[in-house]
Structure 1
Amino acid sequence: MSAPSSKKLTQILGAELDKLVTLPWIWLTLISTFILNFGLTAAFTSAGLQGAAGTQSILNIGLASMGYLQAGFIILGILATCSEYTGGQIRTTLTTIPWRGFQLSTKYLALAMISFPVAFIIAASGVLYTFMMMRDTAVVIEIDTTIKTLVGATGYLTLTTLLSAAIGALLRRTTPALVVLLGYYFIVSPLSRNYLPRFKNYSPDTAGYYMYMQPSSVEINVLTPMQGTGISMLWTLIFITVAIVFYRRRDA
């Protein structure tokens, strides 16, 4: 089977974008994630105002909800790839677009095109709220540092979305994918940091933490933002590659 032309690739990308933006659960997930993040940011900011606010960074407080915020982007990635299997639409997709590798790759590209700006808006809104509430008490960060941190947070959420989409493509069912990923991010990974401290920086979530958070001066074995980005990207690319290989070999 010949490879699709550049025009075909553009059409496939447009089709994948159209499927994502017209999926109601996608928008419900994003809106719920925005509301949840706003509520958590307000709570963390309130706690900062009542505590030792003078020693706290606006960025660290504004992004303190990231550990919970990532759940929304995990769900987003899973829904993007598993939704077509729920009602059997995947057969129609593969009949219309027989180039499986290209089709799944463009789905990931379309998902990144949606998740990146949304992640930036949500992360930036949390930091902006914290700045408005704490600008007279907390330690203010320079604009270039703020931009780098927001880009790192946005990149982490986007990579988390793509990694989750890859896991969703491998499992092909929403509930098992949710159990595996939420169980890892919120149970397995936190526990492994205590029992396997030497390897904690090499997990996708811990490495991603260093993409945006300013570590305390007492932390040891700290990764740089570039190192954290590299490790997170490597995990994501590995799972995407495996997902594409299995996707091309399995029946719909």
Structure 2
Amino acid sequence: MAEQETSSGLEGFGKKLLNLFIKDEPTSGKTAPVIPQNQGNPVAVPSPQSGPAPAAPASAAPVSAPLPEGAVDPKFVDHFASVLHRNNPPGPDYFEFRETLKNLSNLNLSEDQQYQAAWASYKAMGGSADVSALVSSANQYLTALNNDQQAFSKTVEETLTEKVGGLANEQKQLQAENEQLAKQILELQRKMDANTERLAKIGGELNDQRQKITQSKSNYDATLAVFVGQIKRDLLKLGEYIK
């Protein structure tokens, strides 16, 4: 690009990137990106004689399970702005072409006319007259984005392994603790039931023992009274009859 943004200007560059690659009209209530999905596959260079290359049929990738629908995130817009900024060569390239094409989208022109006009403007800015140079610069951006995607995917996998693995280990540990606690609770319940049963028996035994002890004391006192009384009578008789 002709103008090189500095790191302090990446926020503005991110907003510019958002305007260039994101449609103005929301789709189903959400803003939909128009960036090509096959970022890692370079675009074939059309020959000047053959005319525009036919559009490749879109193929839907099989999805084994429904995934959460994504949304354009401003922090990732700024991130991609930084990626493209680092891979931005000096002079007009695909980015100027995309900017011109975006501006032409507001005019009442057919798609073919928009691309032809953007191509003419691109060459007027000093861009190469060979369309392969423009396509090559676009493929360079795709390569940069694909490399970033691979690095991001690796980071995601590593984070998942760390976070999910740690949570899985914690889950197993908590389950094992709960099983152990459940066994302890069962054992305590059994102990409580045994204690309750024993307490019921002890209540009856206490009454029996209390009655036995009380009766034994009464018998002791009665027997003692006989001996004490006899001795006291003997003492009285001794005093009366023997002097």
- TM-score normalised by length of structure 2: 0.26
- TM-score normalised by length of structure 1: 0.25
In our comparison, the structure showing a higher alpha carbon Rg is 2
